[in-house]
Amino acid sequence: MNKHSWQGVIRAYRDYLPLPAGTPIVSLNEGNTPLIQADRLAEQIAPGAGLRLFLKYEGLNPTGSFKDRGMTVAVSQACGEGAKTIICASTGNTAASAAAYAARAGLRCLVLVPEGKIALGKLAACLAYGAEVIAIDGSFDAALELVREIVARHSIALVNSVNPWRLQGQKTAAFEICDQLGGRAPDWHCLPVGNAGNITAYWIGYQEYGQGLPRLLGGQAAGAAPLVRGEVVKKPESIATAIRIGNPARWHEAMRALDESGGMVAAVGDEEILQSWKWLASLEGLFVEPASATGVAVLHQQIRQGEIDPGGKTVVCVLTGHGLKDPDMALQQAAAPRRLPATMAALEDYLLRRPS
Ligand code: AN7
């Protein structure tokens, strides 16, 4: 498919998606995101090692996160089955994506979010798309329990990643990475892990595409790291609100993928996540939401600890969501803009006193 005719992941990868014939396609032309080589960042996290580091910039999907790949498939399938209403629990990105695809398909959309713990850009988008946003006095995990229960009682389609069609769509990112690397999988594939749908989907994708298998490296926020600790986290905490999840729906599938790939999952502190977040923006010009920097943070940690030898390796880190999702956090991390009188003298004085 040439780049001018890209019409979303279902049309691009129809042969790999077991949707029934005649399923209507609800798409926003998602997918086909850039894989960007990041030499300055590679030199920062592995000086002199000749690391070939690539960033899969999933924040460039239509609603600003990787969730659109799975949502096009889940919503198309739900429409094919005659659904009129969809529902999800979400830390924000799934909600925004569900809301957008529901709007496009003319469906009613309910999203349950943890009150006060969803980033501004996600909430704003959900409301703009016309979703019914319900703030729950509890965590994502509590919201997910509620939606699982209500779909058992009413005929509403659940579009969380417990829905297998979500994983079918998300696996297409692995196909793109292999194509973008010239027909091979990377040595390591690093990504944030929250509800663990994405890591599960990537593993399915690499296996089906048949161009080699990477080792998977999952990163969890230290305050929300059930897979690392081996137990449910009751009160998950992190600056990375997207992955503030204590009881992942795809726990067992993720552990199996990690195991089969010879990979690992590790916890990174908020400070490490923020450091990587800053490097992505300031060294590479890639503005992401904090959770999205977790793949880079965990890679850096594992290299530092000697668990991963970066020498000559090809490594992909997935940047899962756009920086504009969480403008509050970005402003909190930055110094306020400088204020000057609107005069040439003041500007010139500033320029010459602070040479670049
Ligand atoms: C930016 O939107 O769970 O391990 O409800 O938004 O597949 O859950 C978001 C997850 C990583 C983790 N990066 O992916 C939700 C939600 C970003 C995210 C993840 C999420 P999974």
Q: What is the pLDDT of residues 169-178, one digit of tens each?
A: 999 999 999 9
At 134-158, the pLDDT tens digits run 999 999 999 999 999 999 999 999 9
Contact between residue 165 and residue 77 where contact means Cβ atoms under 8 Å apart: yes
**Pairing, β 264-268 against β 132-136:** unpaired
| Nearest atom of ligand 1 to the alpha carbon of 321 | 1
Contact between residue 321 and residue 215 where contact means Cβ atoms under 8 Å apart: no
Residue ranges of domains in the chain:
3-64+166-332, 67-164
At 304-339, the pLDDT tens digits run 999 999 999 999 999 999 999 999 999 999 999 999
pTM value is 0.97
Q: Which two tokens stand for residue 133?
A: 């946003």
- CA–centroid distance, 337 to ligand 1, in Å, is 31
Q: Say yes or no to pLDDT of 282 above 80.
A: yes
- CA–centroid distance, 168 to ligand 1, in Å, is 16
Q: Say yes or no to pLDDT of 355 above 60.
A: no
Sign of the dihedral defined by the CA atoms of residues 319, 320, 324, 326, in that order: negative
| Nearest atom of ligand 1 to the alpha carbon of 201 | 7
Mean pLDDT (the chain) is 97
Q: What is the pLDDT of residue 175?
A: 98
Q: How confident is the model at residue 3 (pLDDT cuts 50, 70, 90)?
A: low
DSSP state letters, 287-330: -B-GGGGHHHHHHHHHHHTTSS--TT-EEEEEE-BBGGG-HHHH
Contact between residue 196 and residue 44 where contact means Cβ atoms under 8 Å apart: no
| Nearest atom of ligand 1 to the alpha carbon of 94 | 2
Q: Residue whose CA is closest, atom 5 of ligand 1? A: 90
Phi/psi of residue 114, nearest 5 degrees: -70, 125
Task: For residue 42, count CB atoms less than 10 angstroms from its CB and return exposed for 0-12, middle for 13-18, buried for 19 or more.
Answer: buried
Q: Residue whose CA is closest, atom 10 of ligand 1? A: 242
Q: Which two tokens stand for residue 260?
A: 């089969």
Q: Residue whose CA is closest, atom 9 of ligand 1? A: 242
| Nearest atom of ligand 1 to the alpha carbon of 192 | 11
Contact between residue 227 and residue 269 where contact means Cβ atoms under 8 Å apart: no
Contact between residue 143 and residue 151 where contact means Cβ atoms under 8 Å apart: no
Q: What is the pLDDT of residue 1?
A: 57
Task: For residue 29, count CB atoms less than 10 angstroms from its CB and return exposed for 0-12, middle for 13-18, buried for 19 or more.
Answer: middle
CATH of 67-164, one of 3.40.50.150, 3.40.50.1100, 3.40.50.360, 3.30.420.40: 3.40.50.1100
Q: Residue whose CA is closest, atom 13 of ligand 1? A: 320
Q: How confident is the model at residue 2 (pLDDT cuts 50, 70, 90)?
A: low
Residue type, 331: L
- Rounded distance between C-alpha atoms, residue 31 and residue 256, angstroms: 26
Tokens 């010239």 belong to 182
What's the CATH number for 3-64+166-332? Answer: 3.40.50.1100
Q: Residue whose CA is closest, atom 20 of ligand 1? A: 242
Q: In 3D, which of 56, 16, 17 has the Cα closest to residue 34?
A: 56
- CA–centroid distance, 93 to ligand 1, in Å, is 7
Q: What is the pLDDT of residue 356?
A: 58
Q: Residue whose CA is closest, atom 18 of ligand 1? A: 242
Sign of the dihedral defined by the CA atoms of residues 18, 23, 26, 32, in that order: positive
Which of helix, strand or coil describes residue 110?
strand
Q: What is the pLDDT of residue 166?
A: 98
Regarding predicted confidence, which is higher, 353 or 222? 222
- CA–centroid distance, 84 to ligand 1, in Å, is 25
Q: What is the pLDDT of residue 300?
A: 98
Ligand 1 binding pocket, CB closer than 6 Å: 65, 90-94, 161, 192-198, 242-243, 289, 291-292, 320-321
**Pairing, β 108-114 against β 132-136:** parallel
220: left (phi over 0), alpha (psi -120 to 50) or beta: beta
Instruction: Out of 33, 55, 94, 97, give the residue to mutate to test ligand 1, the one with the largest number of ligand atoms within 8 Å of its CB.
Output: 94
Q: Say yes or no to pLDDT of 290 above 70.
A: yes
User: In 10 A of CB 190, how many CB atoms?
Assistant: 27
Q: Which two tokens stand for residue 205?
A: 């994708």
Tokens 């703030």 belong to 135
- Rounded distance between C-alpha atoms, residue 97 and residue 153, angstroms: 24
Phi/psi of residue 266, nearest 5 degrees: -140, 160
Q: Say yes or no to pLDDT of 303 above 70.
A: yes
- Using the 8-state DSSP alphabet, how is residue 69 labeled? H
- CA–centroid distance, 67 to ligand 1, in Å, is 8
| Nearest atom of ligand 1 to the alpha carbon of 194 | 4
**How far from the centroid of its chain's Cα atoms is residue 224's Cα?**
16
